[in-house]
Amino acid sequence: MSELKNDLLLRALRGEEVSRPPVWMMRQAGRYLPDYIKLREKYDFFTRCQTPELATEITLQPIDQVGVDAAIIFSDILVIPQAMGMEVLMEEGKGPLLPNVIRTEADIDALIATDIPARLDYVMKALALTKRELNGRVPLIGFAGAPWTLLCYMVEGKGSKSFDKAKQFCFSNTELAHKLLQKITDATIEYLKAQIEAGADVVQVFDSWSGMLGMADFKAFAQPYLLQISDAVSKHAPVILFPKGSWYALQDLSSSSAAGLGLDWSITPQLARQITENRITLQGNYDPSKLLTTPAQIKKEVKEMIDGFGTKRYIANLGHGILPNVPVDNAKAFVEAVKEYGQ
């Protein structure tokens, strides 16, 4: 494996001095990129995920075309429920559908928990191929969905404004919910460790729906599993936790084994630093809808954002995934603004 030519992301996660913060964008591979849209017209979603050559091509597009400081493997958080034996359908532009949701203990017992890495061999192949193609240009990020967020889909069966079926399941069948969360956690730990072995330099855990939970419920149903994953996986590579919407968890999670903490845009850089007391590298948190303005406005605001976070222990990113209708020039302006910072 060739040595990394750009190790800003790893340096930031270790809290080392950097010439400027590293920058990448959640969902940077896909959606808004014309070359991705061309592939989408030819291959369906799971073909794109499951064909290492395609996943690699998509993963590399923003490195070449937008100039980000890290690659994140093109995949989906729902590959874990799929590997555990659940049917997952993905209708373009409509979000996921899991026709046979989890209801009973028997449903949980029927989930496969062994050989998860082997069952997701196509992800490992894509990581290895991407690593080779990157040839040390930038680090490679692997990822997984957090157990709570995966439970949401596995119980609700699809996206939802309130995930009340998933929450009802947790609140009414607490023991079963914990059994399911533990089973997902075990699978996820194996999966992330295998991703690191296959070539991921860093992994991120997306708890996209953690903000649906109140503080006490987050501590019951989300936090313990995030921490289990972080504790087990941090031994092998730096872990970034992204509990979207869970502003109340920042203090606790900043004292965890994780190397980085993703932030959504609801919090100011100053307040996030104050709460986390410089114990952890912070990542975020530009409002994705602001990428719909102009390059000049984006550059001005990104500068203010970095002023707020400071350049150390900081990874410039969005506060959530990039929107499909962002002009590529605006995405580029975001990246350029970070690269120009301090010059």
- For residue 282, the minimal CB distance to a second copy (Å) is 15
Q: Residue 144 has which token pair?
A: 């997984």
How many residues interact with a second copy (rule CB under 8 A)?
Answer: 34
Q: Catalytic one among 76, 186, 207, 264?
A: 76
Dist CA 136 CA 153 (whole Å): 36
Q: Interface with a second copy includes 266 (CB under 8 A)?
A: yes
Dist CA 230 CA 114 (whole Å): 20
Whether 20 is catalytic is: no
Q: Residue 338: CB partners within 8 Å, gap ≥ 6?
A: 20, 21, 22, 23, 302, 306, 316
Instruction: Give the interface segment with a second copy, choosing from 69-77, 189-197, 211-219, 252-260 (CB under 8 A).
Output: 211-219
- For residue 168, the minimal CB distance to a second copy (Å) is 4
Q: Catalytic one among 32, 36, 153, 225?
A: 153
Whether 273 is catalytic is: no
Q: Which is nearer to a second copy, 52 or 319 (CB)?
A: 319
What φ, ψ does residue 282 adopt, rounded to 5°?
-105, 145
Binders of a second copy among residues 135 to 174 (CB under 8 A) are: 161-164, 167-168, 171-172
Q: Which is nearer to a second copy, 85 or 324 (CB)?
A: 324
> What is the separation of C-alpha 216 from the centre of its chain, rounded to a whole number of angstroms?
24
> What is the separation of C-alpha 48 from the centre of its chain, rounded to a whole number of angstroms?
18
Whether 56 contacts 125, CB under 8 Å: no
Whether 103 is catalytic is: no
> What is the separation of C-alpha 94 from the centre of its chain, rounded to a whole number of angstroms?
20
Q: Interface with a second copy includes 268 (CB under 8 A)?
A: yes
Under the rule (CB under 8 A), what is the footprint of a second copy?
Answer: 161-164, 167-168, 171-172, 211, 213-217, 245, 247-248, 265-268, 271, 287-290, 292-294, 297, 319-320, 323, 325
